[in-house]
Amino acid sequence: MSTKPATKSPKRAVPAHAEPVAEYRMPTDVADWIRQAEARIRYLTTKVEELKAENAGLKRSHKLMEQRVMGQSQE
């Protein structure tokens, strides 16, 4: 029976040029404010699209009513 001395496993060498990555965290109140602002932007963008569609429909209705009043209607 041969007895070998216990050997330690070699440690991994860390390259000398590797710098730790800086991790930045913003305060929670700032993150909440940004989330609220993004939600407002999404809501208002959707509202603008709805109003554009409504405006187009009203323009068509206006044109149709104008033709009826002026007596140029196809009906």
**Is the CB of residue 64 less than 8 Å from the CB of residue 72?**
no
Per-residue pLDDT, 18: 67
pLDDT-based confidence at residue 2 (cuts at 50, 70, 90):
low
Q: What is the pLDDT of residues 5-17, one digit of tens each?
A: 667 666 776 566 7
